[in-house]
């Protein structure tokens, strides 16, 4: 028995490649059936446990079963995405047992997200588990893994401030904007540019579900690609002066050598807005927004240096929160691995416990049958009960007494200590059995 996770995410694969492996929630059931058929063609329903987590930032397959099926999992995923195994291998990760559990716990807790501590991934993971359960693909092992993932995530969120501290200038921008606007879901946000920094910042703002997201960029094709990711609209950079007043929040980061947003354009926008406040972030170096804009009464303009100060202030708190979260995850991994090890058919104690229970139940059944027979023959009930108790005791102690007389002196002494610990232990408390 092994547990493994195979996946790609925003840190290992580009957006276009991730798109090849995206599965809609209503596709999960037939997809899981195909996966299990590929992993255990003779008995897919009794074979490998499996679940698929698919979001815009990751696609991950979690499995439990015969470890020899791991390589077939890899081949199946490569085929489903229409890429060669070599391409998938260069952009994916494969984790087994403890590392797989740690990864699942970190994902559920938001430590593996593009936005540290974001809560959406937990809901997405719960949906993936329900889909796997509905498809009949979830067994006791993966169920334990995911339920423990949810418990760890809950403890991380209640015991740490992992989601409360900014971790980047992009996150700091969202934090400052939320101080100005009571509800970011009612705001309209404009991003000027379509590079990596704008993509990261848009991801942070999109997590707060603003009313509108728009991308203004010189190249419409690149702007459309980013806008489609967040369900937003795209506009030409040339249209910016005429539409600036529509937006409550403006974030700009281009490679322009001269400012794109001038003082006059912002003044005209404020007049059309009847001086409703605007939150502006200039992440560009050199500046995209003329510095004189900061003097306007109804504009809150922050530069890279301003946001860097916010990030540095949160640094100590952020490190402490991450360290606390990792400690909680460590404990969760140890607990899950202990649970898994106990169920190892060769080395775990659970199979032995099950065998002991089966043996004692067989002894009980034999003695009870003998007692019923003697009662039917008219024997005294007390005599029958005494014989039943003695018969059970003899069966329970027979193997132990044989071992006490077997082997050399050292072996007998070791056996005696074990028997004493098992049978002559002092019972403390009236509630113990």
User: Which residues, at least 6 apart from 385, have a Cβ–Cβ distance to it below 8 Å?
Assistant: 371
Main-chain dihedrals φ then ψ at residue 56, nearest 5 degrees? -65, -20
Q: Pick from 339, 336, 359, 356: which is nearest to 348 by CA? A: 339
Residue 281 DSSP label? E
**Contact between 53 and 124 (Cβ < 8 Å):** yes
Residues with catalytic function: 56
The answer to whether the CB of 229 falls within 8 A of the CB of 55 is: no
Which residues in 150-264 belong to E strands, given as ranges? 188-192, 212-217, 233-236, 249-252
Cβ 4 vs Cβ 77: under 8 Å: no
Return all residues near 237 (Cβ < 8 A) that are at least 6 apart.
192, 216, 217, 218, 260
Q: Residue 26: is it exposed, middle or buried by C-beta count within 10 angstroms (0-12/13-18/19+)?
A: exposed
Kind of pairing between the strands at 2-9 and 93-96: antiparallel
Compute φ and ψ for 9, nearest 5 degrees.
-150, -170
Per-residue tokens: 250: 């403006």
């Amino acid at each position: 028995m092994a547990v493994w996770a195979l996946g790609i995410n925003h840190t290992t694969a580009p957006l276009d490649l991730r798109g090849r492996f995206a599965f809609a929630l209503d596709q999960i059931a037939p997809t899981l059936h195909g996966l299990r058929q590929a992993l255990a063609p003779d008995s897919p329903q009794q074979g490998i446990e499996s679940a698929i987590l698919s979001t815009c930032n990751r696609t991950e397959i979690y499995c439990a079963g015969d470890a020899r099926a791991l390589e077939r999992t890899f081949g199946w995923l490569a085929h489903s995405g229409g890429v060669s195994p070599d391409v998938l291998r260069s952009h994916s990760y494969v984790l087994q047992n403890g590392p797989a559990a740690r990864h699942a716990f970190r994902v559920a807790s938001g430590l593996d997200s593009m936005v540290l501590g974001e809560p959406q991934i937990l809901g997405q993971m719960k949906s993936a588990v329900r889909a796997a359960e509905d498809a009949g693909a979830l067994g006791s092992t993966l169920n334990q893994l995911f339920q423990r993932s949810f418990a760890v995530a809950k403890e991380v969120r209640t015991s740490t401030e992992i989601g409360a501290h900014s971790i980047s200038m992009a996150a700091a921008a969202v934090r400052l904007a939320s101080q100005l606007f009571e509800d970011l879901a009612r705001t309209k946000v404009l991003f000027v540019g379509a590079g990596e920094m704008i993509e990261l910042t848009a991801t942070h703002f999109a997590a707060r579900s603003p009313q509108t997201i728009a991308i203004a960029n010189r190249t419409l094709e690149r702007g459309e690609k980013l806008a489609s990711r967040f369900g937003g609209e795209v506009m030409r950079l040339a249209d910016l002066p005429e539409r600036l007043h529509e937006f409550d929040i403006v974030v700009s980061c281009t490679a322009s050598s001269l400012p794109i947003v001038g003082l006059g354009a912002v003044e005209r926008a404020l007049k059309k807005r009847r001086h409703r406040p605007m939150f502006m972030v200039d992440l560009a170096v050199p500046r995209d927004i003329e510095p004189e804009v900061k003097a306007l009464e109804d504009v809150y303009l922050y530069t890279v240096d301003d946001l860097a100060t916010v990030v540095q202030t949160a640094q100590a708190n952020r490190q402490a929160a991450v360290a606390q979260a990792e400690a909680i995850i460590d404990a969760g991994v140890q607990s899950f691995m202990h649970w898994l090890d106990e169920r190892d058919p060769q080395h775990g104690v659970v199979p032995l416990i099950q065998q002991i229970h089966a043996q004692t139940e067989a002894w009980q059944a034999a003695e009870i049958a003998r007692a019923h027979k003697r009662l039917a023959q008219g024997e005294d009930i007390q005599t029958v009960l005494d014989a039943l108790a003695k018969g059970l005791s003899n069966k329970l102690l027979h193997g132990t007494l044989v071992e006490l007389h077997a082997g050399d002196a050292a072996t007998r002494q070791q056996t005696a200590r074990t028997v004493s610990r098992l049978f002559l232990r002092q019972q403390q408390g009236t509630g113990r059995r």
